[in-house]
Amino acid sequence: MFDTRQLAQKFTSRITTTSAGLLVAFVLQLTVATARAADQPPVTGKVQVHPETLRLVHHRYDHSLLITGRTADGSAVDLTAHAKLRSADESITKIVDGWVKPLKSGTTKIIIEVAGQAVEVPVESVLSDAEKPYSFRHEVMPVLSKGGCNMGACHGYSLGKNGFKLSLRGGDAKQDIVAINADNFGRRVNLLKPTESLLLTKPLGDVPHRGGVRFARNSELHQTLERWVTQGAKGDMDDKNEVEFVRIHPERFVLEPGSPHRLQLIAHYTDGTTRDVTRQAIFTVNTEGVADVNDVGHVVAKEMGESAIVARFERKFAASRLIVLKPRPSFQPTPAPADNFIDQHVIAKLNDLKITPSELANDEDFLRRVSLDLIGLQPTPEDVRKFVADVDATKRTKKIEELFTRPEFVDHWSLKWGDLLQNSRVRVSEPALYSFREWIRSSVASNQPIDEMARELLVSRGGQADNPASAYYLISKDTNETIERVAQVFCGVRMLCARCHTHPLENWTQEDYYGLHTFFNQVSAKNDPRFVNVPNARAVTLNVAAGFSTNPRSGQAQPPRYLGGAEPKLEPNKDRRADFAKWLTTPDNPLFARSLANRYWSYFFHRGIIDPVDDLRTTNPPINPELLDALTKDFIDNKFDARHLMRRIVTSQTYQRSSAPNDTNKHDVLNFSRAIPRRIPAEALLDSLVQATAVRENFGGAPAGFTAAQLPDAEVTSDFLSLFGKPQRSEACECERDGESNMLQALHLINGNSILRRVTDGNGRVAQLLRQNLADEALIEELYLWSLSRRPTSRELTVAQQHLQTYGPQQKTEAVQDLMWSLLNSRDFVLVR
């Protein structure tokens, strides 16, 4: 049921082992590549055929054979179009357009000749005596999806289109058969004159259709619909056979730019049969520009890069991972360090990609990066000087441990959790805001294991006087919001879609949504009578007698259901949240540790291993599944210790790499082969600016003396913070924090008061340094260290000295102000580099 996880596990087997298993099907094992046709690309090694054997169970379920080879460089070569296919017994199967069509029951084989090799595929055909009638669920519904009829922009829209409403993307066959048959006085489906049914004439374009022509006359889509109508347009709701999952082949492959390759999608049914649904499936490329895919799964590689190619059939999804790569014969694989699993998995992938990672960053860059990432503040000149001068070989590790003990560490990570848990006085009373803030801060300060923190939050009740964590529930306006927040923050799953219809990008249904709902519907928030004079003072109460939530689709009570399908039998009159919390935080929960490990990773890099970090689904596969699996396992093995997880990440070479690219990785922005500079988050940028200039910021709406990282919520007046994307905490999504740059920010930095006022302040850094009467060189170094946490290069020193001399002693103040202004306005200040 856990598509996401299954997929991840499948990815852990590397290509080589998978292909070894295919060899049994080959009778001839020729190793020499010979080009049979002029345009057939050269391949080395054995030709592979998927599947190795065929079992055909339905007169209309033809099957394709995917025939592939490899270049000497390891790129995939699709030989299907070059192969000659022959059926050994043409009374049992015949070849039609390269597909195997069953004719009657029996056993035979398909003989494939390609690239000077011959392969045989044994075939078993087990057909019913008479051809089965057309199935609404298995044949017509996929046509409605493939034709786009049930898309959100068309009849899948919540109000339908032009009086005809289908369930979004075919989520509800029962609803659809009623819609097709019962409406419109028999015009939509005309059993007397089937070809005049609107169901056919509209999508064919025979009569005006606002959705345009959806399929061609005599196409398979057309024929399926027409024959189904001719046979009486019956629903087959009693048929219990369901698609259990779909598999895509190949699951990962490498292509050279311009090369074609086809995909094959096989549906596996609950009755154990399989069906080639490649022609019924819908294919999309996740990253535009890397490749194109057409409606029958033919891929053409375009530019160098990586992308998932997603296939959907009915409600099931599968993703194939494509890498587009040019041959690089001179590439030398990087040896992976034996003692660090992060580096091992990152380098294994980079070697596959023929990428050499960048060198390690120098001490100054490392120190600034790790300080900003762990404590949300630049290092001071003293920090930089001491660190650079330290000759201890383990000084980076020592520094990391030291940063864990800094008070700013608590500020920085409490801010993150405050964002994730959406603590805000818009949602809760002001005393509850501050007490929840303290609760979060003590959890971070004591390094409370994250599973324990989650459990405390999820079973909290009462008001701020009883349990500050109860604010977690008070923040939600209703149970819907609670479960969406729980799923997004603790499972990395976005459930909102499934509130009203099946999720368009993953197999989440309203059963899943309301199954979660039932776990939390005993909660309500009532006014807290102990705080009559406090606006919005409320407390969480629990009605353990509450029944199950109603699934609006079926109108039935939905028993509690974990994300992923299991429906536990719970004792009545108990707090159902406790059971959910236990399920959530068990080590084998596939979503909790995985989503959190991925989320923490993203705080130290420019992206998650899965990105967006809170959008885990089959159709959004991780960029490096082995890395995420290992990181997840390590997080679980170490009992959800967040500091341990951070330590793992920041002590890796992968984290400590320079941002300077080399020839092999300058195009790579996905695989952590170098540091990708990121814009510093709003609060850390402002706090670093305050530290650099020694001029504080006073926020309206927060106690005096609070730093930006310490602010209780976003209800403070600060142009700076809102321009730089501080989230309002109105969403449980990481994406609410805007990490982009924009012109208004630049305008603010160049000409706004944040920098201008600070460099000219009579008690600010510039004034302080001038009072020390330093020589120009020393003065410049101080300015660089305070502003950018590094010393100037010799060229920078020269430019800066020229600048000071040009102004002369009379205008020294002005010149130094200008210099600091310039440094704080440079990209080196704004970026984590």
Question: Segment contacting another protein (CB under 8 A): 409-417, 642-650, 673-681, 704-712?
Answer: 673-681
Residues found in the chain: 833
Residue 657 interacts with another protein (CB under 8 A): yes or no: no
For another protein, the binding residue among 22, 559, 807, 812 (CB under 8 A) is 807
Q: Which of 563, 514, 494 is nearest to 3 (CA)?
A: 563
Cα separation, 503 vs 54, in Å, equals: 33
For another protein, the binding residue among 36, 60, 748, 812 (CB under 8 A) is 748
Residue 398 interacts with another protein (CB under 8 A): yes or no: no
Residue 615 interacts with another protein (CB under 8 A): yes or no: yes
Number of chain positions touching another protein (CB under 8 A): 71
Residue 747 interacts with another protein (CB under 8 A): yes or no: yes
Q: Which of 140, 157, 352, 126 is nearest to 253 (CA)?
A: 352
Q: Which of residues 494-523 bind another protein (CB under 8 A)?
A: 494, 496-497, 505
Please give the C-alpha separations between residue 683 and each of 417, 710, 785, in angstroms, as whole numbers. Answer: 14, 9, 20
Please give the C-alpha separations between residue 100 and each of 295, 319, 400, 821, in angstroms, as whole numbers. Answer: 20, 25, 61, 72
Cα separation, 829 vs 785, in Å, equals: 11
Peptide bond into 250 cis (omega under 30): yes
Cα separation, 116 vs 28, in Å, equals: 10
Task: Return the number of the residue (574 or 827) whose C-beta is nearest another protein.
Answer: 827
Q: Which helix (H) or strand (E) holds 272?
A: none
For another protein, the binding residue among 677, 694, 696, 770 (CB under 8 A) is 677
Q: DSSP letter for 605, please.
A: S
For another protein, the binding residue among 736, 761, 768, 770 (CB under 8 A) is 736
For another protein, the binding residue among 659, 690, 706, 813 (CB under 8 A) is 659
Q: How many CB atoms lie within 10 A of CB 642?
A: 20
For another protein, the binding residue among 544, 557, 742, 777 (CB under 8 A) is 742
For another protein, the binding residue among 284, 728, 768, 813 (CB under 8 A) is 728
Task: Return the number of the residue (600 or 821) whose C-beta is nearest another protein.
Answer: 821
Residue 716 interacts with another protein (CB under 8 A): yes or no: no
Q: How far is the CB of 488 from another protein (least distance, A)?
A: 8
Q: Is 274 helix (H, G, I), strand (E, B) or coil?
A: strand
For another protein, the binding residue among 124, 236, 731, 761 (CB under 8 A) is 731
State the binding string over 131-170 for another protein (x if CB under 8 A, else -). ---------------------x------------------
Per-position b or e across 368-401, b if 16+ CB within 10 A of its CB: bbbbbbbbbbbbebebbeebeeeeeeebbeebbe
Cα separation, 195 vs 217, in Å, equals: 11
Q: How many CB atoms lie within 10 A of CB 522?
A: 20
Q: Which of residues 407-436 bind another protein (CB under 8 A)?
A: 426-427
Task: Return the number of the residue (405 or 806) whose C-beta is nearest another protein.
Answer: 806
Question: Segment contacting another protein (CB under 8 A): 257-265, 282-290, 301-309, 662-670?
Answer: 662-670
Residue 662 interacts with another protein (CB under 8 A): yes or no: no
For residues 614 and 420, the answer to whether their CB atoms sit within 8 Å is no
Task: Return the number of the residue (386 or 803) whose C-beta is nearest another protein.
Answer: 803
Residue 760 interacts with another protein (CB under 8 A): yes or no: yes
For another protein, the binding residue among 77, 684, 733, 769 (CB under 8 A) is 733
For another protein, the binding residue among 73, 799, 812, 813 (CB under 8 A) is 799
Task: Return the number of the residue (352 or 364) whose C-beta is nearest another protein.
Answer: 364
Residue 212 interacts with another protein (CB under 8 A): yes or no: no
Cα separation, 474 vs 528, in Å, equals: 11
For another protein, the binding residue among 606, 633, 644, 647 (CB under 8 A) is 606
Residue 360 interacts with another protein (CB under 8 A): yes or no: no
For residues 512 and 563, the answer to whether their CB atoms sit within 8 Å is yes
Residue 740 interacts with another protein (CB under 8 A): yes or no: yes
Q: Which of 454, 462, 525 is nearest to 485 (CA)?
A: 454
Cα separation, 452 vs 640, in Å, equals: 9
Q: Which of residues 461-480 bind another protein (CB under 8 A)?
A: 477
Cα separation, 575 vs 473, in Å, equals: 14
Question: Segment contacting another protein (CB under 8 A): 232-240, 256-264, 289-297, 743-751?
Answer: 743-751
Cα separation, 764 vs 423, in Å, equals: 34
For another protein, the binding residue among 23, 72, 296, 744 (CB under 8 A) is 744
Task: Check the CA dihedral 216-219-220-224 and report its sign.
Answer: positive
For another protein, the binding residue among 743, 762, 763, 809 (CB under 8 A) is 743
Task: Return the number of the residue (410 or 421) whose C-beta is nearest another protein.
Answer: 421
Q: What do you get for the CA distance between the two ends of the chain, in Å?
A: 41
Q: Which of residues 220-279 bind another protein (CB under 8 A)?
A: none
Q: Which of 60, 70, 61, 46 is nearest to 265 (CA)?
A: 61
Task: Return the number of the residue (316 or 425) whose C-beta is nearest another protein.
Answer: 425
What are the φ/ψ torsions at residue 477 (nearest 5 degrees)?
A: -80, -25
For residues 19 and 48, the answer to whether their CB atoms sit within 8 Å is yes
Residue 827 interacts with another protein (CB under 8 A): yes or no: yes
Task: Check the CA dihedral 188-191-193-194 and report its sign.
Answer: positive
Residue 776 interacts with another protein (CB under 8 A): yes or no: no
Task: Return the number of the residue (95 or 770) whose C-beta is nearest another protein.
Answer: 770
Question: Segment contacting another protein (CB under 8 A): 28-36, 210-218, 304-312, 675-683?
Answer: 675-683
Cα separation, 171 vs 156, in Å, equals: 10
Residue 569 interacts with another protein (CB under 8 A): yes or no: no
Task: Return the number of the residue (122 or 752) whose C-beta is nearest another protein.
Answer: 752
Question: Segment contacting another protein (CB under 8 A): 160-168, 386-394, 624-632, 725-733?
Answer: 725-733
Q: Which amino acid belongs to residue 375?
A: I
Residue 758 interacts with another protein (CB under 8 A): yes or no: no
Q: Which of residues 687-706 bind another protein (CB under 8 A)?
A: none
Cα separation, 785 vs 780, in Å, equals: 9
Task: Return the number of the residue (695 or 749) whose C-beta is nearest another protein.
Answer: 749
Residue 746 interacts with another protein (CB under 8 A): yes or no: yes
For residues 124 and 107, the answer to whether their CB atoms sit within 8 Å is yes
Joined together, the tokens standing for residue 259 give 């090369």
Q: Which of residues 279-318 bind another protein (CB under 8 A)?
A: none
Task: Return the number of the residue (168 or 453) whose C-beta is nearest another protein.
Answer: 168
